[in-house]
Amino acid sequence: MPFSPISRLTITAFALAALTACGTTKWRSYPDGGIKFSEVKYNYTAQPVLSDPAGKTYQLSTNDALGGVTALPALEKKGLKRAESGADVVVRLRGEKVGHEPGSFGLGGKYKPALLSRMPMTITVLDRGGAMILERKVLHEETLGIPGAKTFATRSEAKAAMASIPKALYGKADEKVRAGAAKQAQKSMPLVAKTLFEPRKVQVKLPAIRSAGDVDMEAAYALLSDAERPEQVQQALSAYEALGTAHSKADGSPDVIGNYGVLCGTASARILAGDLVGAWVATKAAWQTYPKGREHGVIARVLKQQQDEAGVEIMPQEEYNEMTGRGQMQEKLQRLLGGGNKK
């Protein structure tokens, strides 16, 4: 018998009785208007992604960068046995290109040059049919001291000295990083196994919008913050949606912040209602309405957590990265690492 996955498009495990509204009211000002909101928290038990592990099998797939991993003891402790093909789950380990940058180590005016090396890794778990169950990103880092290097008075001088380091050192650094990455991958597997096979306590915080621009949403917020049953969350969601997104200011110009706030309030309510797909539609619309806002990014991060729990991709990764600013940070990191990469 194959594993039994949980429902992957709805959240059914959290108890509304655990939903609480923080008493603190917050305001955020934008050039086009302000937003008033309070945080809504809920605690729930995330059910295991897979059930009945005893007697099942796993297949291990690695690339050259992580070829040092030959078995996964963390899964075997749960009762899984390794198989070469036809396994119940496939664990795919992928290491990316090693990046290097000049660095230093030391204290008190005694610094030595060092090579800072990083290798991103991805751990992916697939079911028998090839559908993704779970994915985790891991970054392995190593610091390699330079044998016989001089001591410098400042960190900047020590880093500058890296320009004269033999290129052969980078090859040794690659070997050290790959060896360390294999160990790091193994250290990450107990958490992966826990996610797959054990229930976990999770807390989620969402911004519940009370007003935005010239739009008053206190009635919808009150319904959401007082909700104890699924139908009450649906009532709050309906109240937010009934406000619409065609609001205008007194001068006739669009109330961009007001419309943005309605969409954010709707997105939060949809997450609490278990509608992840609808929450993404509202979150994306909020982002498109007012990209400078911060609330939609907070909601998107919660939604990312929820989709990872459900084991499906609801938000395209590129759009999520752009929405939350992760894409810009990753580009900066890649430029930094790429600039110091030596062959």
Q: Once rounded to an integer, what is the mean pLDDT over residues 26-40?
A: 94
* CATH 3.30.160 boundaries in the chain: 57-198
Residue type, 33: G
Across the range 78-97, mean pLDDT stands at: 92
Residue 48: the pLDDT is 74
What distance lies between CA 139 and its chain's CA centroid? 13
Average pLDDT, the chain: 83
pLDDT > 90 in the chain, percent = 43
212-233 pLDDT, tens digit each: 999 999 999 999 988 878 888 8
Q: Quote the CA–CA distance of 247 and 204 in Å, as a whole number.
A: 30
Q: Which residue has 């009762």 as its token pair?
A: 79
Nearest 5°: CA angle at 321, between 261 and 183?
Answer: 135
Q: What is the pLDDT averaged over residues 297-317?
A: 82
State the pairing for strand pair 81-82/57-62.
parallel
Which tokens is 317 given?
A: 């990764």
Query: CATH number of 57-198: 1.10.10, 3.40.50, 3.10.20, 3.30.160?
Result: 3.30.160
Q: Would you say residue 46 has pLDDT above 90?
A: no
d(CA 51, CA 135): 18
Helix (H) or strand (E) holding 113: strand 110-127
| Confidence band, pLDDT 50/70/90 cuts, at residue 331 | very low
Q: How confident is the model at residue 16 (pLDDT cuts 50, 70, 90)?
A: very low
Instruction: Give residue 247's pLDDT band: very low, low, confident or very high (50, 70, 90).
Output: very high
Single-letter amino acid code for the residue at 261: G
The model's pTM: 0.57
How high is the pLDDT of residue 305?
82
Contact 292, 33 (CB under 8 A): no
List CB contacts of 157: < 8 A, sequence separation 6 or more.
Answer: 111
